[in-house]
Chain A
């Protein structure tokens, strides 16, 4: 298989993007929130609900969520998917929607998600089974799995807790520039180091939020987008890799599937990591963007900790990473991947106010699911990058 493999580079676009209810969203159900985000994003694009003929969602507690959302919206999609690759599902949807649009199978794809665990606590019964090979040892799920990967990275490469803390502090500094971010009070390296240790080496400040939020994007073919309300954001490349389900089966604790999906997505796009103006890399825990910076090719393997040091990924640093404040300081309602795509789109449309990256033309959104199990990369660009 060639690295470019015929992906329809630039021929499909994100025409609308929105968030809804970030932080606290009491009184609504998850599907209410997804629908609110969807309507905002369709209005943003200037596309009518009746045009939507493909639906991609990942409901937080409803295994049959695709059907649920179709019914709720009152539409009859020709393609419906509710895949189960966790937080990476939404980047996978971009890939699937691009291919279905290119094939003429569909004309308008809605990708939507809502979840409010903070104000509407999850039901006791989850949708994932506990592994009989791990559960008896009582790892905190999913935290301890990421902690194990972090321990290995520290052992092999000398990555330090201070370097992990740099990721949390940079995210907080970006959040302070984003009025929508849920947590905006000051945070120092010292604060992170002194925070309550939960599962070594990760403290409570190395962990993402668990708050409310909804997001949606709409995708069409580039020719349709000419009539849309906003400048289209082109999908230049997408790729996905699944390496395992549980952490004990991860082939290499310090190399994720992003080492597969990243090079392929960048080859399709015809750009390198160094060309990216904005990097939106799933930050469930402070170790995750460090791994993805390495695996996607922003720095060599083992150098991620040093790469983020000295404020390099904070506002004013060398790389604009997670400019919305990330899962660490903006929003993480369980599956965060769609928010990465919304922020990348907003940056490429120049809508980000104080946190806007000047002349942003290229962005990468990288979603992560499970316990570093599913990795999906999307490279986006403005019209001038075609």
Chain B
């Protein structure tokens, strides 16, 4: 039986960023679920995401100490789906809409986390 979130996390833990794709419609799906939104197609398979993405929207959460401020972005994957993430490896004020980024998997605490870095 398909276990969407658990399978996605298992892939991530092994260093793979996977997304779902419908065999019949060809549409890519993220976040993982049991059907393609809109069509209801249930013939979803896991495919490797290219990791290529573009920053669609950005906000900086400001903290008292500017060093603690961090970014939250929405990125558009090359395959189509949009997701929330953050951009690492660049000062927060340099992140801009339209910026090309690529996926990266980092350890955050004891868990793997999907982030993006400048392409």
- Which residues on A are within 8 Å of B, measured CB to CB? 132-134, 136-140, 144, 147-149, 151-152, 155, 196-202, 246-249, 253
Contacts and interface: CB of A to CB of B under 8 A. Distances in A.
Contact of A199 (B59, B98, B111): B59
A197 B62 contact: yes
A115 B25 CA distance: 47
Interface string B67-86: 00010111000000011111
B14 interface: no
12 contacts: A134-B84, A136-B111, A144-B61, A147-B59, A148-B57, A155-B57, A196-B62, A197-B60, A197-B62, A200-B58, A200-B62, A249-B82
Contacts of A152: 56-57, 97
A137 B60 CA distance: 11
A52 B106 CA distance: 58
A253 B56 contact: yes
A144 B60 CA distance: 8
B5 A138 contact: no
Contacts of A139: 59, 61, 72, 84
A132 B5 contact: yes
Interface of A is mostly: mixed
A193 B86 CA distance: 26
B34 interface: no
Nearest to A149: B57
B108 interface: yes
Contact of B85 (A137, A155, A196, A249): A137
A248 B84 contact: yes
A149 B58 CA distance: 9
A199 B84 contact: no
Chain B contact patch, size range: 20 to 34
B62 A198 contact: yes
A199 B61 contact: yes
A282 to B, nearest CB: 20
The 6 A-B pairs at the shortest CB distance, nearest first, are namely: A147-B59, A148-B57, A248-B84, A200-B60, A152-B57, A155-B97
Given A133-B83, A134-B84, A151-B97, A248 B74 contact: yes
Contacts of A198: 61-62
Contacts of B97: 151-152, 155
Given A148-B57, A148-B58, A198-B62, A248 B83 contact: yes
A199 B62 contact: yes
B62 to A, nearest CB: 5
Contacts of B111: 136
Contacts of B73: 148
A172 B98 CA distance: 35
A379 to B, nearest CB: 30
Contact of B72 (A148, A149, A201, A202): A148
Contact of A137 (B56, B62, B72): B72
A201 B111 CA distance: 31
Residue of A134, A144, A151, A198 ringed by the most chain B CB atoms within 10 A:
A151
